């Protein structure tokens, strides 16, 4: 049976989805409220995991162990690392990696988690395709592309750091949870996709843009997810 975990880091990334759930049961674990219910005919668990990679990783493991989810979607906002992604556009993950993992001193590639034999965690092609079609259906005016999510426990607001994420990791957007969700999903053999609406450009303008655009961006991503769950089986 299909059960979809939907994770947002912040309340504004999941509040609309939570409000649309039917037959809701709320289960608390690790200070997170897991809203189990029905969204658009699909069995889902919607949860705000909190900000950063540790919160995100814990959340995926709880969804796997306690709720036995079959798919995981991460919805939220991100800073753009790609000139083709403007504020308001949407990035659908092709893969995700940890930009703050650095064991290069022992010959690992920047971002590579030692002894795992992998740099990036690949998103599920079927979920990627469903996300794109939902975007075309419910937000036809929004430009959406596939790309790489790079995650770290840092808010990126400096052009020099941004350039490093582009040149070293070929990231398309930067945020603070996606790679942990991808990593956790990989370890539990659960297909995942990350959907991020762009709230800022991850440079000196981010400090101003992020608070201005985060709510509208988060809602667009959630709107797409609300439609998409109907088609997951």
Q: Give the footprint of ligand ADE on this chain (CB under 6 A).
A: 77-79, 155-157, 174-176, 199-200, 202, 206, 210
C-alpha span between 111 and 173 (Å, rounded): 15
CB-nearer residue toward ligand ADE: 52 or 129: 52
Q: List the structure tokens of 42.
A: 């699909």
Shortest Å distance, C-beta 198 to ligand ADE: 8
Instruction: Establish whether 13 is a catalytic residue.
Output: yes
Q: Considering 95, 112, 175, 200, which one is annotated as catalytic?
A: 200
CA nearest 72: which of 88, 57, 83?
57
Q: List the structure tokens of 129.
A: 């395709």
Instruction: Establish whether 219 is a catalytic residue.
Output: no
**Residue nearest to ligand ADE according to CB distances in the complex:** 79
* Kind and range of the H or E run holding 14: helix 11-19
CB-nearer residue toward ligand ADE: 108 or 213: 213
- Write the Ramachandran bin of 202: left for phi over 0, alpha for psi from -120 to 50, otherwise beta: left
C-alpha span between 81 and 79 (Å, rounded): 7
CB-nearer residue toward ligand ADE: 79 or 191: 79
Shortest Å distance, C-beta 158 to ligand ADE: 9
CA nearest 4: which of 48, 37, 30?
37
Shortest Å distance, C-beta 175 to ligand ADE: 4
Shortest Å distance, C-beta 152 to ligand ADE: 8
Active-site residue list: 13, 200
């Amino acid at each position: 049976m299909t059960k979809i975990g939907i994770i947002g880091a912040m309340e504004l990334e999941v509040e609309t989805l939570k409000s649309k759930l039917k037959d809701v049961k709320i289960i608390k674990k690790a200070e997170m409220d897991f809203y189990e219910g029905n969204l658009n005919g699909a069995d889902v668990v919607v949860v705000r995991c909190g900000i950063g990679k540790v919160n995100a990783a814990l959340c995926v493991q709880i969804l796997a162990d306690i709720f036995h989810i079959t798919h995981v979607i991460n919805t939220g906002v991100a800073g753009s690392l790609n000139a083709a992604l403007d504020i308001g556009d949407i990035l659908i993950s092709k893969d995700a990696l940890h930009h703050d993992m650095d064991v290069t001193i022992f010959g690992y590639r920047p971002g590579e988690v030692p002894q795992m034999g992998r740099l990036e965690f690949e998103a599920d092609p079927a979920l990627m395709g469903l996300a794109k079609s939902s975007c075309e259906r419910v937000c036809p005016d929004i430009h959406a592309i596939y790309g790489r999510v790079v995650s770290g426990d840092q808010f990126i607001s400096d052009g020099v750091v941004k350039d490093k994420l582009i040149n070293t990791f070929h990231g398309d957007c930067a945020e603070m949870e996606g790679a942990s969700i991808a990593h956790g999903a990989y370890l539990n053999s659960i297909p995942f996709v990350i959907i991020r609406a762009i709230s800022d450009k991850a440079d000196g303008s981010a400090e101003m843009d992020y608070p201005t655009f985060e709510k509208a961006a988060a809602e667009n991503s959630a709107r797409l997810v609300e439609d998409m769950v109907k088609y997951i089986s």
